[in-house]
Amino acid sequence: MSLLVYALASREVGPLRLRGVRAERLETVRIGSIDAIVGTMTTPPRPTARVLRQYDHVIRALWARRGAVLPARFTSVMRNRSELELTLRVRQSTFRRQLALVRHRAQMTVRLVPGSGIRDPGSAGSPYGRSRGTRYLMHRAGVARLDHISDVGVLRAAVKRWIRAERADVRAGVATIYHLVPRTSVPRYQEAVGRAAAAAQLRVQVSGPWPAYAFAEAW
């Protein structure tokens, strides 16, 4: 028997009446101010489309009941309760901080195929001269923010006031930006990004609100 961890959540009173992807009753494992929401099963489920949708559904149901939820990557399997408790205890201050970041906030995902393609971010300029280390670091910070893709800046500017945190990556020719915004701002965010995309004739796909998957950082 092993434990499938669905998410970490801020501790709250009251019983959890939820079922998991195998219709198993979900339980709460408490460490300090953090709850781990788990399901017991013999073998972990395979990541088919159907199971992943169910997983998302379970996370959302939890999200509807708790102010702060950090989804776990699929599949996060703990051999037993002690292993889970040890993991939580060792990393609890990190988890507490992450839970505080995502409390009452939602993730919006914006996918963009840059109109002019994805340019090479280039280098930090001349390798000589003073402060080249500083320039390199600043250049890398810009690359991480996708500064080299101008369409991203356009969208970001339109929703800046609601951004509480941002993550970004580029894969397979698609730039993805994740924004953590107050849950109550979601409709205004959607409207603003839609207007900005239309005005700049950008091809975007916006989805959300999601639980804060991209802000429940792996490391």
Partner 1 sequence: MKKRKSPKAARATPKRRRTHVVAKAGGLTVSEVRELRALRRQLERAGGGSSSPLRWDADPDEVRRSVARLVLTLVEFIRRLLERQAIRRMESGTLSPHQTEDVGRALMQLEATVREIALTFGVPPEELNLDLGPAGKLM
Partner 2 sequence: MPRRRPPRRSIAERVLETNDGTLLDVVDNALAKGVVLSGDLTLALAHVDLVYVRLSLLLCAADRVLPGPGGTRRRRRR
Question: From CA 88, how far away is CA 82, in angstroms rounded?
Answer: 10
**First-to-final CA distance of the chain:** 27
Question: From CA 196, how far away is CA 206, in angstroms rounded?
Answer: 12
Is the bond preceding residue 94 a cis peptide, omega within 30 degrees? no
Does residue 112 belong to the site contacting partner 1 (CB under 8 A)? yes
Q: Which stretch binds partner 2 (CB under 8 A): 4-12, 141-149, 150-158, 194-202?
A: 4-12
Task: Give whichever of 22 and 164 is closer to partner 2, judged by the CB atom.
Answer: 164
Strand 27-31 to 34-41 pairing = antiparallel
The interface partner of residue 95, options being partner 1, partner 2, none and the CB cut-off 5 to 8 Å by kind, is partner 2
User: At 52, is the secondary structure helix, strand, or coil?
Assistant: helix
Does residue 63 belong to the site contacting partner 2 (CB under 8 A)? no
Interface residue with partner 2, options 164, 186, 188, 190 (CB under 8 A) = 164
Q: Rounded to whole angstroms, what are the CA distances from 203 to 89, 92, 108, 192, 194?
A: 44, 41, 16, 15, 10
User: Mask 95-134, x = binds partner 2 (CB under 8 A)?
Assistant: x-xx-x---x----x-x-----------------------
Q: Which two tokens stand for residue 33?
A: 């101010």
Residue ranges in contact with partner 2 by CB under 8 A: 5, 7-8, 47, 49, 52-53, 55-57, 60, 70-74, 76-79, 83-84, 86-87, 90-91, 93-95, 97-98, 100, 104, 109, 111, 164, 176, 182, 205, 207-208, 210, 213-214, 216-219
